[in-house]
């Protein structure tokens, strides 16, 4: 019989990942279905949430324990390790990759999922997967699951697990892991109100999205290939759309927040290699979205560096490279905006540059007529556009702190470009 025991404390935030001898990296994760299931009776833990543990950490861990107590095999989803640096937007890689891979039956063979399990000489774990043969014998440690909120696994714990060849995974704590699927979120923007169903919680039938594993980070084939190519082979050629997302809820300090999403298309040309006659010329396109977060204050707006992520890539082979698949890219852009609407049903989405946008050179030629001279020669990434776009395309709403809502600003009458 499978059972759940215990409770506990967790590990970290922002999608950071670490392995022994390896540095930090940001990870973005997604889920798909997996055919694993083995229903069993769950023994509810009599232990309540500790006073020194956050609810986010505890509830994420508890939900994972309840789900993993009903199976004896786990598949995981790993995301590509390629990460951009928003502080240096002109340095490759120009975006954080979102390609992912599913590894089936990554760990298997347990019959007990126990929270707050301690192993002498190693430490305490948020969730241990154990193989227990009898009440009188010690349980074999099959695997370890750590939940990340703010504190990563210590180097000593990582080393001890490695010495014992115990596989471990690290999972980002999130409310989507445990909140009720039928629960509704109520969001308001001004006098308007709307309700949307929350994202359904993770279940044991799906690969578990992880931000770190004992077997180290994974890099997709596209990023491996790009790492061997010169930066000059990749160019930022097309500005596809600009959308400002005004959050419906203010911060705890009563400040307004907005996100500017800039969609761009990169292209990469690979000439024919005569040593490989079967391969002709090839052109690859990448749809990337850059997102900057701005917060209002009494002086104006504070803006964080723009972070970019890859939405999708596609390529064209012989006989001649053609134009990028704009229809497919448009669908992907709409999916990204739908994700924004699901995050905040009451948010105001203001389109500043409509799809399909304009080639980068043409966009700034028109900007030059408005005396906003910009040289496109030095623009290698979407992140480099942040300051220029702020000058050229102002925000059409300002935050009214007294009412806690966004109201039209003096730029409100300006039309989408």
pLDDT > 90? residue 239: yes
Residue 251 has a pLDDT of 86
Return the number of other C-beta atoms located less than 10 Å from residue 267's C-beta.
Answer: 18
Q: Is the pLDDT of residue 45 over 60?
A: no
pLDDT at 14 over 80: no
Q: So what's the pLDDT on residue 375?
A: 59
Q: The pTM is what?
A: 0.73
CB 125 within 8 A of CB 65: no
Mean pLDDT value of segment 158-178: 87
Give the Cα separation of 71 and 108 in Å (integer).
9
Beta bridge partners of 212: 170
Q: Which of 381, 244, 229 is nearest to 310 (CA)?
A: 381
Tokens of 152: 């990563």
SS3 (DSSP) at 183: coil
Whether a cis peptide bond, with omega within 30° of 0, leads into 93 is: yes
Q: What is the pLDDT of residues 345-377, one digit of tens each?
A: 899 999 999 999 999 888 877 655 554 545 566
Identify which of 283, 320, 290 has the alpha carbon closest to the alpha carbon of residue 304. 290
Phi, psi of 284 (to 5 degrees): -125, 140
Give the pLDDT score at 415.
Answer: 61
Strand pairing report for 358-359 and 234-246: antiparallel
**Residue 349 and residue 337 in contact, taking contact as beta carbons nearer than 8 Å:** yes
Q: Where are the domains of the chain?
A: 3-80+99-213, 229-408
Residue 39 has pLDDT above 60, yes or no: no
Question: Where is 224: in which H helix or E strand?
Answer: helix 221-227
Q: What is the average pLDDT score of the chain?
A: 78
Question: 187: pLDDT confidence band, cut at 50, 70 and 90?
Answer: very low
Q: Report how far residue 186's alpha carbon sits from residue 235's, in angstroms, rounded to the nearest whole number.
A: 43
Q: What is the dihedral of CA 118, 121, 123, 128, to 10 degrees?
A: -50
Residue 209: which of 147, 127, 300 has the closest Cα?
Answer: 147
Whether residue 37 has pLDDT greater than 60: no
In the structure, what pLDDT confidence band is assigned to residue 124 with cuts at 50, 70 and 90?
confident
65-76 residue pLDDT tens: 999 999 999 999
d(CA 173, CA 362): 44
Distance of CA 71 to the CA centre of its chain: 27
What integer pLDDT is reported at residue 262 of this predicted model? 96
How much is the pLDDT for 266? Answer: 92
Supply φ then ψ for residue 202, to 5 degrees. Answer: -70, 140
Q: Do 99 and 61 contact (CB within 8 A), yes or no?
A: no
Which pLDDT score is estimated for 22?
A: 41
The answer to whether the beta carbons of residues 196 and 235 sit under 8 Å apart is no
In this structure, how many other beta carbons lie within 10 angstroms of the beta carbon of residue 287?
A: 25
Q: Which two tokens stand for residue 303?
A: 């803006």
| Whether pLDDT at 320 is above 80 | no
Tens of pLDDT, residue by residue over 243-294, are 999 999 888 888 999 999 999 999 888 776 666 666 667 788 999 999 999 9
Query: What are the structure tokens assigned to 46, written together?
Result: 């009599």
The highest-confidence range among 118-122, 296-300, 347-351, by mean pLDDT, is 347-351
* Two structure tokens written together for 213: 């594993």
> What pLDDT, on the 0 to 100 scale, is given for residue 316?
67
- If we measure between CA atoms, which residue out of 101, 150, 148, 82 comes closest to residue 308? 82
CB 337 within 8 Å of CB 330: no
């Amino acid at each position: 019989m499978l059972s759940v025991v215990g409770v506990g404390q967790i590990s970290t935030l922002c999608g950071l990942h670490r392995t022994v001898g390896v540095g930090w990296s940001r990870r973005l994760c997604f889920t798909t279905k997996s055919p694993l299931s083995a229903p069993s009776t769950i023994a509810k833990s009599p232990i309540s949430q500790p006073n020194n543990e956050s609810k986010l950490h505890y509830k994420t861990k508890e939900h994972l324990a309840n789900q993993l107590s009903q199976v004896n095999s786990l598949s995981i989803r790993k995301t590509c390790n390629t990460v951009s640096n928003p502080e240096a937007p002109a340095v490759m890689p120009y975006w954080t990759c979102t390609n992912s891979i599913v590894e089936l039956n990554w760990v298997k063979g347990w019959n007990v999922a126990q929270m707050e399990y301690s192993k002498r000489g190693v430490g305490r774990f948020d969730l241990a997967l154990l193989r227990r043969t009898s009440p009188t014998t010690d349980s074999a440690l099959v695997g370890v699951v750590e939940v990340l909120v703010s504190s990563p696994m210590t180097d000593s714990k990582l080393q001890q697990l490695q010495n014992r060849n115990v596989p471990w995974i690290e999972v980002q704590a999130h409310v989507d892991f445990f909140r009720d699927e039928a629960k509704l979120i109520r969001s308001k923007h001004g006098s308007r109100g709307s309700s949307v169903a929350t994202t359904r919680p993770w279940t044991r039938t799906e690969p578990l999205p992880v931000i770190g594993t004992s077997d180290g980070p994974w890099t997709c084939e596209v990023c491996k290939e790009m790492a061997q190519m010169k930066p000059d082979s990749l160019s930022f050629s097309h500005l596809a759309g600009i959308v400002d997302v005004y959050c419906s809820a203010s911060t705890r300090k009563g400040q307004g927040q907005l996100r500017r999403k800039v969609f761009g298309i990169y292209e990469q040309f690979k000439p024919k290699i005569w040593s490989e006659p079967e391969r002709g010329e090839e052109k690859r396109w990448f749809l990337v979205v850059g997102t900057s977060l701005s917060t209002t204050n009494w002086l104006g707006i504070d803006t964080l560096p723009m972070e970019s992520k890859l939405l999708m890539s596609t390529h064209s082979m012989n006989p001649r490279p053609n134009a990028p698949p704009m229809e497919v890219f448009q669908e992907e852009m709409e999916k990204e905006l739908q994700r924004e609407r699901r995050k905040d049903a009451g948010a105001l989405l203001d389109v500043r540059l409509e799809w399909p946008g304009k080639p980068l050179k043409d966009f700034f030629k028109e900007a030059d007529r408005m005396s906003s001279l910009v040289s496109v020669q030095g623009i290698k990434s979407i992140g480099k556009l942040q300051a220029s776009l702020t000058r050229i395309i102002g925000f059409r709403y300002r935050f009214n702190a007294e009412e806690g809502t966004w109201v039209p600003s003096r730029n409100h009458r300006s039309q989408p470009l």
